[in-house]
Structure formats: C-alpha cells, structure tokens
A and B are shown apart, each in its own frame.
Chain A
C-alpha cells in the first residue's frame, strides 16, 4: 500500500466540501459518532438530507466569522492506498494557503462548476499548480446533475480547459464528470452518464501511478543533524543524519561535500540503526564517511559525477506570504531545507499576475499573495537544483528575523 497526497482547489460554491465529504463518506471512512454529530448539525434542514459539507466544517472561530482561515488535512484510506487531502480555501486572498497545501501534493483536483465552466478562479488554481509543478491534474467537472448530465457541456468545458492546460504546459490532465452531491462517478460509475468511459474519481485516485514522482537519478542529501554518541564503544562515531532528498546512495560511493568542495567516500549507511548497502529517497538515513571532515548542518553530500549547481546569487520566483510588504534590499534568512543563510532580495524584475500569467512591472511594494521574479543574494553559497528539475532541492523559504515569520516561498530557476 502506498501514499498519495492531493490538494482540492475550488470554493464552497463549487462543491469542494461536499466532494471531500463524499469521498470520506462513500469510502466508509466516516464513523458513526462523526455521522451522528453531522446529523445533529443538519437537523435544521427541511429536506432531512445529510449535509456532507459539514464533515469538513472547521473551527468555531471560522464558523463564527463564516470564513475558512486555514488549510485542513483529511485522511482516508482504501485497501489500495492511504490518502492525505490538503483542503485549501479557494478565495483569492488565500494563495498563501494554497501554496502551503500544494507544496507536498502529488496531485491536484481542480473543481469546476458545470454551469459556470472555466472561471478566473480555475485559471488561478491552475497557474499555482503549474508554478509548483504539481505532476497530476484532475479536473472534476461537478454539478453534472444540474446540467442534465450533458455530455456536450462536459466536452465543451474539457476543450476550454485544455487551452488553459496547453498555455501552462500542464501535461497529465484527466477530466471526470461528477456530482458530489449525488455521488455520481465518485466511488461508483454513474448510471446517469453512460457516455463517460473513464474511471470514477476514487478508482482513478487509487490507480494513478506515482512511483515516477520520486527522482531516483540525481542523488541529493543534506545534513540535518550530526550524531556523535561519544560513548566508550562509539567514541569516534560521527554520523550525518538527514533525508535522502532524491536519488540512491551506495556504500563505497565517491561523494563530494558541498559547498566545501571536498571529496570523500561513503563508508557506512544506516536506516534506524540498521546497516544498509544502499539507501534511496525519501528515506531518513545516517551516512558515515571514510575521512574526518568538518561537516555541519546544511552541508550537502552528493555524488561526484552528478553535482548540483553552486551559487550565492539566485534567480527565483517568489511568492510573498508576509502581512507586511516585501522591502527590496531588506535582509532576510533563507532556509533551504536545513541550510540557513542570510539573504537579500534584489532586482525585482516583474510581478506575475496569477489570474492571467501576465508579467507586470513592479510599481510599488510586493504585497501578500503576490508572485514576483527576483534575484536573491545569499551570504554563503547554496548547493541547489532548479525547482523545475528537483522540487525539493530547488525550494526555500524566507524568514523575517525580527518577527520570525515565514514570509516567502521561493522557487529557484
């Protein structure tokens, strides 16, 4: 059994909460007491039906204000897969949340109301999916029951969306006509849409191949923590603990320590205290080296024949997440996995309109939820890859040292 992480994008009006509720409900991941609570809250409804959207109802603080504050995580599983849903609010002001939820997702479900077709929000969600390089896209065309399960309407929306996908270079796009409210094509194939030849949504989510999402070619590893027991029997033990970001490491591999640029050899590999001949992404491992080198948190161990790029001046796409605007020239801390360096944002080239993809000149400051192309200068070198090539070694956050807030998501170009 493996693990699929996905994000749902869409607003309440598109039936996003109902869809999630339906997935949990129909896959029998809703339990009796949760259902009772649901029925209690639904008592006031006149038609007596259960409101599945309430299953994903949030905090009291949110209910009181009638808004969704933050991303919520939901879990369900079938005999084939465990699923983690990042349920992100859809409104324009929540680009920050959507990026948070989308950053770890294998797949995104973009909901479209069959009566509305592709709208501005659809474009925005798709643009963010393309910026974050989410590999698999499912366009769920919802509320088919309200358009008489019309194949023509479904086809027209699919054609309309394929233009968006083409423009954004989204490759793996699948279209599913559904009614989350009635359960059409969610778990069971819908009797109302015999013209649809694809899989129901859940079956599609269970079957989609995600093995290739993990890069096993370019070996990348960053030291998180140095293990030095300094006990009598482990007096000289020095192990570099970290996660294999990508690729495979083998005992005896010739490796390079970056940014120091020192060559050495892997002498021992361990996972959870057990020795291994090889380790691979995304395992959490301990590497021992044959030479005594000064290595600390944030340093990279990579294979000699396939190193990443090294620089202290980065071209980046940056999504601003701070409440206070970005001040060009201000100093921030840049955290690239476990590596923390001082950084300055320079040369903001243009602002990217997340509704249209248009590049606009930067007239004033960069505000919350805005995406810009910029240059970042760092106080020490980073061993990095482009985000396009290797998400996890091509991304970082900026931290405001005075507030300690995470103020930007950064993608290296």
Chain B
C-alpha cells in the first residue's frame, strides 16, 4: 500500500489547501495578507494549487510600511503578475498622515506597530471579512495557542479566552457584522517545513534570502542593513559583509545573518545546523518584552 502514502510535506500541503478552500467557500470577501516574505510566498503557492486551474479567488493585500527591501517589492510585483492575482497596497505612511499619528523615533524607528492601524482601516475600507496570514504556531508562544480560524472583534482584537473549539477538520467561520476572521493555513508548519517545501516545489524567492554582499552595522550582536530608514551615529562602523536574510520584514527591524549560502540546499543546511530560532535571530522587535507578540495580537496585529 506504499503507493497510497503521503509524506509529511504532502500532508501539510493537503491540510493547507483544505483550509484555503474553506476560506473561499465560507467568506464573502477574503484577502491574503502578502508581505513579500517566504511564508506569504508559500501561501500564494498553496492558494494557486488550491484553486487550479482557476485563478486565486481573492485579492492579495500588502500593508506597506514604506521600509521594505527594494528586492522584496520587485519580487512582489513580479509574483502578482506571474499568478495573475489582484494586489491592493495600503501604506502606513498614508495612515500616519490621515490619522495624524506620531511617526516613531529612534535609531531603528520601526513602523511595525503602526501596521495594525493601516490593516484595520483597510479591512474596513474593503469590507474584508477574512484575512489570510502566514503565521506559524512554532514562531512563539502566543501563536502556539491561536486557532487556525481566529475570530477578531471589530477592533481586530484576539481574545484567547473566547476561542472556538476547533474539532476534527471542521472550521466554523461564522461571524457577526463588523467582526473578521484571521486564518492561518500554515499554522502547523515549522520554519524548516516551509524551507523544505520551497525546495520540493521549486518556489522562487526574493534574492535577499541568499548570500550577497551588503553594507551593515552591528547592533547588539545583530547585523542591520544600512539604508535610508536607519539613523547612523558616530559609533556605528559600516562594514561590508556577505549576508542573507532568514526572514524578510522591514529594513528597520530585520537582521541579517552572515552566510555563504547561495543555493537553497546550502540555506537549508545552515538553518538545520543553526541553534537559534528564527525570530530570535532576525527580529529585533520581539526582544522588547517577552509578551510582545501576545500584546500585539490582542490589539489587532496579524
């Protein structure tokens, strides 16, 4: 019976496709939150497979902080064209202006927090009833406890005490007007699963995931790319290093790792032998408090 057997990546893929189809069937107006990172690129690939030979039956939405890696933006536009999807972009900068918000200050002034405002405004503007995100439960504690279908109130808030039981593979996406659901189709994937799937399916990625030369500064043991978005001071030493990115977020809060890995095999080998978690190595925003993600989730963040 060996021929009728799925390996773990095929099982994960099948589960994710099942979730995508539940979203398309249960919601009137879903959107896929697209950041340009590998997790959301994987989501787009899964969505393509879920609805083939038809088009992906919902829009992609990018909440643009304005602090992107140019390579990630170029890749985003290429991919949207490649899969013939519709992309909407909403900019944090516009939200700051329209809502008269205070632009964050400091050396690595991050607009990460402010994305929540733009996201909630966009959900309201387009009347999205469901936002599909690339969150994985292995990322950190708050995500480990979140459902695949996660109901948010009209303020986008997550209430861990009011989660619906999610039993067997039955997903209840019913909501009241004004609420929305965040759906995480790759909840059960780990970082390594995503990389192995990318290799298996030969999914294209932005070039910054592979080793390249870049001007960086060292800050508390992490390497930050020199860009117009961070403020250098006299003590900073700019050095050219061969680096790659393990996650792709804002240039202000995503750290690079030194690497010679130029192929997917080499990247996977490095990640397999690394003894530091993805968020710990590359996200400077999660270090602020241990409960940072829990707080952000409760306030409507992805």
- Kindly state the separation between the CA atoms of A100 and B146 in the bound complex, as whole angstroms: 13
CB distance from B197 to the nearest CB of A (A): 12
| Chain A 323-334 near chain B by CB (<8 Å), digits 1 or 0 | 000000000010
For residue B240, CB closer than 8 A to chain A, the reply is no
| Chain A 72-97 near chain B by CB (<8 Å), digits 1 or 0 | 11110100011010000000000011
Residue of B nearest to A97 (CB): B165
The one of A1, A270, A286, A297 in contact with B7, judged by C-beta atoms closer than 8 angstroms, is A1
For residue B178, CB closer than 8 A to chain A, the reply is no
- Kindly state the separation between the CA atoms of A211 and B1 in the bound complex, as whole angstroms: 9
| Chain A 257-297 near chain B by CB (<8 Å), digits 1 or 0 | 00000000000001011000000101110100000000001
For residue B10, which residues in chain A have a CB less than 8 angstroms away from its CB?
A: 283
Contact across chains for A404 and B52 when beta carbons are under 8 A apart: no
For residue B107, CB closer than 8 A to chain A, the reply is no
For residue B167, CB closer than 8 A to chain A, the reply is yes
| Chain B 186-224 near chain A by CB (<8 Å), digits 1 or 0 | 011010110000000000000000000000000000000
For residue A176, CB closer than 8 A to chain B, the reply is no
CB distance from A225 to the nearest CB of B (A): 4
For residue B18, which residues in chain A have a CB less than 8 angstroms away from its CB?
A: 224, 243, 284
Contact across chains for B52 and A272 when beta carbons are under 8 A apart: yes
For residue B239, CB closer than 8 A to chain A, the reply is no
Within 8 A of B (CB), among A46-85: 57-61, 69-75, 77, 81-82, 84
For residue A234, CB closer than 8 A to chain B, the reply is yes
The one of B163, B168, B274 in contact with A104, judged by C-beta atoms closer than 8 angstroms, is B168
Contact across chains for A270 and B52 when beta carbons are under 8 A apart: yes
Contact across chains for A104 and B169 when beta carbons are under 8 A apart: yes
Contact across chains for A243 and B14 when beta carbons are under 8 A apart: yes
Contact across chains for A103 and B51 when beta carbons are under 8 A apart: no
Contact across chains for B144 and A74 when beta carbons are under 8 A apart: yes
CB distance from B175 to the nearest CB of A (A): 6
Residue of B nearest to A68 (CB): B145
For residue B66, CB closer than 8 A to chain A, the reply is no
Contact across chains for B25 and A3 when beta carbons are under 8 A apart: no
For residue A144, CB closer than 8 A to chain B, the reply is no
Contact across chains for A321 and B145 when beta carbons are under 8 A apart: no
- Kindly state the separation between the CA atoms of A206 and B227 in the bound complex, as whole angstroms: 47
For residue A232, CB closer than 8 A to chain B, the reply is no
- Kindly state the separation between the CA atoms of A272 and B51 in the bound complex, as whole angstroms: 8
For residue B160, CB closer than 8 A to chain A, the reply is yes
A-side interface mostly: mixed
Contact across chains for B176 and A31 when beta carbons are under 8 A apart: no
For residue A229, CB closer than 8 A to chain B, the reply is yes
Contact across chains for A31 and B277 when beta carbons are under 8 A apart: yes
Q: Give the residue among B5, B55, B169, B281 with the most A Cβ atoms within 10 A.
A: B169
- Kindly state the separation between the CA atoms of A243 and B14 in the bound complex, as whole angstroms: 8
- Kindly state the separation between the CA atoms of A338 and B193 in the bound complex, as whole angstroms: 27
Q: A61-B294, A69-B145, A70-B160 are in contact. Are A282 and B14 (CB under 8 A)?
A: yes
Contact across chains for A59 and B294 when beta carbons are under 8 A apart: yes
For residue A174, CB closer than 8 A to chain B, the reply is no
Contact across chains for A73 and B169 when beta carbons are under 8 A apart: no
Contact across chains for B167 and A397 when beta carbons are under 8 A apart: yes
- Kindly state the separation between the CA atoms of A312 and B137 in the bound complex, as whole angstroms: 38
For residue B41, CB closer than 8 A to chain A, the reply is no
Contact across chains for A399 and B174 when beta carbons are under 8 A apart: yes
Contact across chains for A272 and B8 when beta carbons are under 8 A apart: no
| Chain B 152-184 near chain A by CB (<8 Å), digits 1 or 0 | 000000001101111111101011100000000
Within 8 A of A (CB), among B274-298: 274-277, 280-281, 290-291, 294
For residue B12, CB closer than 8 A to chain A, the reply is yes
Q: List 27 A-B contacts (CB under 8 A).
A: A1-B7, A1-B8, A57-B141, A58-B141, A60-B291, A72-B144, A73-B144, A75-B137, A75-B188, A77-B192, A82-B8, A82-B190, A99-B165, A104-B169, A225-B21, A227-B54, A243-B18, A272-B17, A273-B53, A282-B14, A283-B10, A337-B169, A391-B168, A396-B170, A399-B174, A404-B174, A406-B165
Residues of A bordering B, CB below 8 Å: 1-3, 31-34, 37, 57-61, 69-75, 77, 81-82, 84, 96-97, 99-100, 103-104, 211, 216, 224-225, 227-229, 234, 237, 239, 241-243, 248, 270, 272-273, 280, 282-284, 286, 297, 321, 333, 335-338, 391-392, 395-397, 399, 401, 404-406, 409
Known: A61-B161, A227-B52, A248-B4. 12 other contacts (CB 8 A): A1-B7, A3-B12, A32-B280, A71-B145, A75-B137, A84-B188, A227-B54, A229-B55, A234-B54, A241-B50, A282-B6, A284-B13
Residues of B bordering A, CB below 8 Å: 1, 4-8, 10-15, 17-18, 21-22, 24-25, 48-55, 137-138, 141-142, 144-145, 151, 160-161, 163-170, 172, 174-176, 187-188, 190, 192-193, 274-277, 280-281, 290-291, 294
